[in-house]
Amino acid sequence: MSFEKVMGLNVTDEAEYQNYREGMLPILTTFGGSFGFDFKVAEVLRSKTTDAINRVFTIEFPSKERMEEFFSNPEYIEVKNKHFNSSVDSITVIAEHEKNT
């Protein structure tokens, strides 16, 4: 079984967010992680948060433990601090679940 998160973001700087994605992708793959879906959202019709969402994606790992290792990895944190924090103003975890692969 793998572990998947469905995320919603409000991206405020597309170029800097792309720098984040390019910088974190090699690190993500070393943890067995990958993106499944990635959408730019034009309109949110219903939400359980007041935060804006203009990007929705899924991110998958071999296990929840591997996901936690990835998000606490110093190299990932460095890329996140350099590019993500200045390009995204809200983060919404839509769902987390184990997935039969």
SS3 per residue for 62-75: CCHHHHHHHHCCHH
**If you classify domain 2-99 with CATH, what class do you get?**
alpha beta
Question: Mean pLDDT per segment of 10 residues, for the chain of length 101 residues?
Answer: 97 98 98 97 95 98 98 98 98 95 66
33/92 Cα distance (integer angstroms): 19
Whole-model pTM: value is 0.92
Do the beta carbons of residue 76 and residue 30 sit within 8 Å? Answer: no
pLDDT at 101: 66
**E strand or H helix at 92:** strand 88-99
Q: 32 by DSSP, 3-state: which?
A: coil
Domain boundaries, the chain: 2-99
